[in-house]
C-alpha cells in the first residue's frame, strides 16, 4: 500500500509534492490505514544523460536537495521511498534507463536510502520473453547485492507473462496490464497512440491470473485511479462514485497492491471514504493473501469469493451491466453449506442478513456489493 506520483503528476513531479504528500499521508490518517510506500515514478532525473561517473542525477530543478535528503525526510515520517527506472536505454518518458547500469544504479539508490524500485519496460523488445526474464533477473540480483532491502516492482504490463517468472526474477509484484486509465471501459488515448485500460477489463484480467498471485509475489492491477475524477496525467472520462467503489473493491479482492494515484493534498470526503475503510482494507491485506476469483455469472452480474484467514469468506457481487439487477447469492454457489451464516456489508460496516441458503440483493449498474460471510 502506498502512493505513486505518476497518475496525477506525470512529468511534474518534484520534492515539494513528495514532502507534502508524506505530510498529508500523516495528517489525513491514511498512514494509519497502512499506506506506506511513497513512489517517485518517471521523470525524476536529468533527462539528457548521466554524470561523468555514469551515475543518474536527480533533476536539480525538481529535486534541489537531492533524493537522499528526501529519503531521510520520508523515513523520518515513518514511510519508505520508491523510485523508478526502465530495463532499456530510456524510460517511457525518455529519461535514462538502467540497462547495462544495473549494479551501479542499485548501489546509488541504496546509498540514497531507496526502498522500492518500479522497473518499467519501454524501449525493450516486446515479444521476447527470454530477454525480459534476463533483464528483470539482472536488476533483481543487483538490488539484492546492493546491501539494502528493496521491494522490486516489475512493470512489464503482462505481455510476456511475468506472473510465470516474476518471483524467480526477484520480483515482489508485477503489472498484469497496460496503464489503467480513469475510465470504466477501455479508451483510445490519442496523445499516447494507445488504448488505456478501463476498470471493466481489469476485472477479467484479475480473474484470469488469480492463481498466480500470493504472498511474496502479487498481481499488480496498476495504481489506483480513485479520486482522479477525470484529472491528471492519465485522465480518462472519470467515473461515478459507485464505479470508483467497484474499482477499489476489486483491487482489494484481487490482493492487488493499493497505490494511491490522486493528489491527496486535495482529498475529498468521497475519496477518503474509499481509501480509508478498515474492514475493506483488511480484506486486501488478509494474511492468507489469496486473490479472489469469479465463481458465478448471472447475466451481466458476477459473484466472486476470497477465502480469509479467520475462516470467513469475502464475497463480491458486481453488476457490470447498465441496468440495476436483483441477484440471489446461493450458499452452494459460494461453496458454503446450508447452515446459518451471517453476511456483513463490508463497505457499510454493518451486519445485513442472517441466511442459510439464499441471500437476495439489489445491485445497481456498475456497483459492487462487498460482503463478509461467516458461517
Ligand atoms: C509506463 C508505466 C506507467 C508509468 C509510465 C511512466 O506507461 O506503465 O505506470 O510508470 O510508464 O512514463
Cα distance between the two ends of the chain: 30
Residue 309: closest CA among 372, 220, 369: 372
- What is the three-class DSSP state of 189? strand
Q: Is the CB of 86 under 6 A from ligand 1?
A: no
Residue 139: closest CA among 113, 172, 94, 95: 172
Ligand 1 pocket test: pick from 9, 40, 42, 84 the residue with the most ligand atoms within 8 Å of its Cβ.
42
179 is a catalytic site residue: yes
Distance CA 179, CA 202 (A): 10
Query: Ligand 1 center to residue 146 CA distance, Å?
Result: 25
The pairing of beta strand 368-374 with beta strand 341-345: antiparallel
Residue 322: burial class (beta carbons within 10 Å; 0-12, 13-18, 19+): exposed
Q: Is the CB of 92 under 6 A from ligand 1?
A: yes
Ligand 1 pocket test: pick from 13, 92, 158, 256 the residue with the most ligand atoms within 8 Å of its Cβ.
92
263 is a catalytic site residue: no
**Residue in this structure with the C-alpha cell 514511510, named with its chain if needed:** 79
Cell matching residue 246: 467497484
Cell matching residue 57: 542525477
Q: Is the CB of 6 under 6 A from ligand 1?
A: yes
Q: What is the pLDDT along the chain (375 residues), one digit of tens a residue?
A: 999 999 999 999 999 999 999 999 999 999 999 999 999 999 999 999 999 999 999 999 999 999 999 999 999 999 999 999 999 999 999 999 999 999 999 999 999 999 999 999 999 999 899 999 999 999 999 999 999 999 999 999 999 999 999 999 999 999 999 999 999 998 887 777 888 899 999 999 999 999 999 999 999 999 999 999 988 887 778 999 999 999 999 999 999 999 999 999 999 999 999 999 999 999 999 999 999 999 999 999 999 999 999 999 999 999 999 999 999 999 999 999 999 999 999 999 999 999 999 999 999 999 999 999 999
Say how many C-beta atoms besides its own lie within 10 A of residue 223's C-beta: 29
Query: Ligand 1 center to residue 155 CA distance, Å?
Result: 8
CA nearest ligand 1 atom 11, residue: 92
DSSP bridge pairs for 45: 58
Q: Express each pLDDT in 259-272 by its tens digit.
A: 999 999 999 999 99
**Positive or negative torsion for Cα 81, 85, 91, 97:** positive
Residue 156: closest CA among 125, 190, 200: 125
DSSP bridge pairs for 144: none
CA nearest ligand 1 atom 9, residue: 179
- Ligand 1 atom nearest to CA at 91: 12
pTM as predicted? 0.97
Q: Is the CB of 46 under 6 A from ligand 1?
A: no
Of 41, 115, 179, 282, the catalytic one is 179
- What is the three-class DSSP state of 166? coil
Of 86, 115, 120, 282, the catalytic one is 120
Residue 126: closest CA among 167, 169, 161, 76: 161
Q: Is the CB of 121 under 6 A from ligand 1?
A: no
Q: Express each pLDDT in 34-72 by its tens digit.
A: 999 999 999 999 999 999 999 999 999 999 999 999 999
Ligand 1 pocket test: pick from 9, 12, 91, 120 the residue with the most ligand atoms within 8 Å of its Cβ.
120
DSSP bridge pairs for 341: 355
Distance CA 254, CA 247 (A): 11
Going from the C-alpha of 280 to that of each of 201, 314, 315, 346, 355, the distances in angstroms are 22, 10, 12, 6, 22
Amino acid at each position: 500500500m502506498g502512493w505513486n506520483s505518476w497518475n496525477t503528476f506525470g512529468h511534474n513531479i518534484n520534492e515539494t509534492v513528495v514532502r507534502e504528500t508524506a505530510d498529508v499521508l500523516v495528517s489525513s490518517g491514511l498512514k494509519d490505514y497502512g499506506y506506506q510506500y511513497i513512489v517517485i515514478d518517471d521523470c525524476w532525473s536529468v533527462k539528457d544523460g548521466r554524470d561523468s561517473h555514469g551515475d543518474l542525477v536527480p533533476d536539480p530543478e525538481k529535486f534541489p536537495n537531492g533524493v537522499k535528503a528526501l529519503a531521510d525526510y520520508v523515513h523520518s515520517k515513518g514511510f519508505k521511498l520508491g523510485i523508478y527506472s526502465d530495463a532499456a536505454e530510456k524510460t517511457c518518458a525518455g529519461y535514462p534507463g538502467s540497462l547495462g547500469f544495473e549494479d551501479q544504479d542499485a548501489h546509488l539508490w541504496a546509498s540514497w536510502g531507496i526502498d522500492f524500485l518500479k522497473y518499467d519496460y519501454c524501449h525493450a523488445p516486446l515479444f521476447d520473453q527470454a530477454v525480459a526474464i534476463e533483464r528483470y533477473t539482472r536488476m533483481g540480483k543487483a538490488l539484492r547485492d546492493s546491501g539494502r532491502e528493496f521491494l522490486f516492482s516489475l512493470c512489464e504490463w503482462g505481455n510476456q507473462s511475468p506472473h510465470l517468472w516474476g518471483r524467480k526474477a526477484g520480483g515482489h509484484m508485477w503489472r498484469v496490464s497496460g496503464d489503467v486509465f480513469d475510465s470504466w471501459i477501455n479508451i483510445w488515448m490519442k496523445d499516447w497512440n494507445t488504448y488505456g485500460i478501463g476498470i471493466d477489463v481489469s476485472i477479467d484480467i484479475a480473474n484470469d491470473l488469480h492463481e498466480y498471485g500470493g504472498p511474496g509475489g502479487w498481481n499488480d492491477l496498476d495504481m489506483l485511479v480513485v479520486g482522479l475524477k477525470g484529472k491528471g496525467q492519465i485522465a480518462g472520462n472519470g467515473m461515478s462514485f459507485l464505479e470508483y467503489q467497484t474499482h477499489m473493491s476489486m483491487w482489494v479482492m484481487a490482493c492487488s497492491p493499493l497505490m494511491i494515484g490522486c493528489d491527496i493534498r486535495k482529498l475529498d470526503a468521497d475519496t477518503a471514504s474509499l481509501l480509508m475503510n478498515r474492514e475493506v482494507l483488511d480484506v486486501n491485506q488478509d494474511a492468507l493473501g489469496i486473490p479472489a476469483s469469479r465463481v458465478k455469472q448471472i447475466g451481466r452480474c458476477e459473484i466472486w469469493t476470497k477465502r480469509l484467514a479467520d475462516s470467513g469468506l469475502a464475497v463480491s457481487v458486481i453488476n457490470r451491466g447498465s441496468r440495476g439487477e436483483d441477484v440471489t447469492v446461493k450458499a452452494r454457489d459460494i461453496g458454503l453449506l446450508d447452515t446459518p451464516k451471517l453476511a456483513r456489508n463490508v463497505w457499510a460496516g454493518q451486519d445485513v442478513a442472517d441466511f442459510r441458503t439464499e441471500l437476495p440483493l439489489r445491485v445497481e449498474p456498475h456497483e459492487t456489493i462487498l460482503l463478509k460471510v461467516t458461517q
